[in-house]
Amino acid sequence: MKRIIYISTVNRHLSEEEVESIGQISARNNHEVGITGVLIAVHDYFFQVLEGDEDTIANVVERIRRDPRHRDMHILKAETGISERLFPKWSMRTIRLAKSGDVILQAIRNLLQNIAQSHRIIERYTQPSVLKFLTEGINPLTVPPRKTEKIVLFCDMVGFSYLSDLFPVEEVADVVNAFLEVCSITLVEHGGVVAKYVGDCIIAYFEEGQADECIAACLEILRRISEMRRNTHNCHLMKFLYCGIGVAAGTVIEGNFGSSVKMDYTVLGGTVNLAARLEALTHEIAKPIALSKSVMEGASRPWPFALVGDLQLKGSSRPCPVYTLDHPLLDEFKGHTDLVEEMRQVCGDGVCGVVCPQTPNG
């Protein structure tokens, strides 16, 4: 059996009758499928415990999550393999604690508010794969490392160190956040997992059979970034936002890597290194997307692949075939040198407080 404990916030004021109706419907439905638990409503917060068969809990939680009467559902605890129920007699006992002015209720409300806030913060700092384990009731630290097949993607801003020295720090932070947001959202929308950020670089992965989704995500990232550049006034850092994407498919080691101070659940291995090398190569080949042969072979849609050549990559003993896409979105790419030239043309030396140096440094 599984037990889920979550907290959520009401979307609008709910009358006593409405909360009562939620309780009645819950009790009726839960009784039919063998779920027990308790639902506590304190002012604008719900706190609920649900326990029952794993699949049934998953269905009900999904239905509750979609209910527009509340939002920000944070799973506080998920336990699998439980053998005893905490509330064996309650198919859903609903308790409404709403007497305003009561000091104890105020304290409970504050407690729930703080828990919700802490969870919101922690969730944003936590890797999605780790969150997934936690909501499934699995302790991520106990997950053993394993070899798996993945499509690994590195996506990096062009000339970030160079540009970050030239623009005001707030503008740099805004653009980096906008870049990470658009790339991450696009990757997740296409079924990818964002493994981590390393400065302005995103490391993400897709499952073995998702080469088409991964390539579609790469093109969509370029399209969205191109739109961001177009909608920005001259001399803003966003105008110079370009990225390089390297993608490789193959075996990786997936698991916990780190120390007692900091732990990452991530992927490691030759395929990951290859994706990083391919990303670095985008500057040399003047194309924003560089793909390994394995990615091309894994795709089934008729993408306009173009062989760049057999190239010697750093750390590799022999040349590797590198592919890109023959697509108009890729023609907008600017490497370091072109980027400096564009800055000169758009801003001119010294305009917008920026003096463009001759040689970019990375």
Residues that bind ligand FAD (CB under 6 A): 8, 21-22, 25-26, 29-30, 39, 46, 48, 50, 60, 63-64, 67-70, 92
Report the nearest approach of ligand FAD to the CB of residue 104 (Å). 22
Please return the burial class of 230, using the count of CB atoms within 10 Å of its CB with bins 0-12, 13-18 and 19+: exposed
First to last CA, the chain: 54
**How far lies 254's CA from each of 145, 149, 152, 269, in Å?**
6, 9, 12, 9
Q: Is 157 helix (H, G, I), strand (E, B) or coil?
A: strand
Looking at residue 132, its amino acid is K
Look at residues 35, 14, 17 and name the one whose alpha carbon lies nearest to residue 26: 35
- List phi, psi (to 5°) of 116: -60, -45
Residues 145, 265: Cα–Cα separation, whole Å: 9
Report the nearest approach of ligand FAD to the CB of residue 17 (Å). 10
Report the nearest approach of ligand FAD to the CB of residue 244 (Å). 45
- List phi, psi (to 5°) of 109: -60, -45
Q: Which is nearer to ligand FAD, 26 or 324 (CB)?
A: 26
- Residues in the chain, total: 362
Report the nearest approach of ligand FAD to the CB of residue 111 (Å). 18
Residues 176, 178: Cα–Cα separation, whole Å: 5
Report the nearest approach of ligand FAD to the CB of residue 138 (Å). 23
Report the nearest approach of ligand FAD to the CB of residue 102 (Å). 21
Which conformational region is residue 43 in: left (phi greater than 0), alpha (psi within -120 to 50 degrees), or beta?
Answer: left
Q: Which is nearer to ligand FAD, 46 or 333 (CB)?
A: 46
Which conformational region is residue 350 in: left (phi greater than 0), alpha (psi within -120 to 50 degrees), or beta?
Answer: left
Q: Which is nearer to ligand FAD, 64 or 243 (CB)?
A: 64
**How far lies 54's CA from each of 1, 57, 81, 132, 137, in Å?**
6, 5, 9, 15, 11
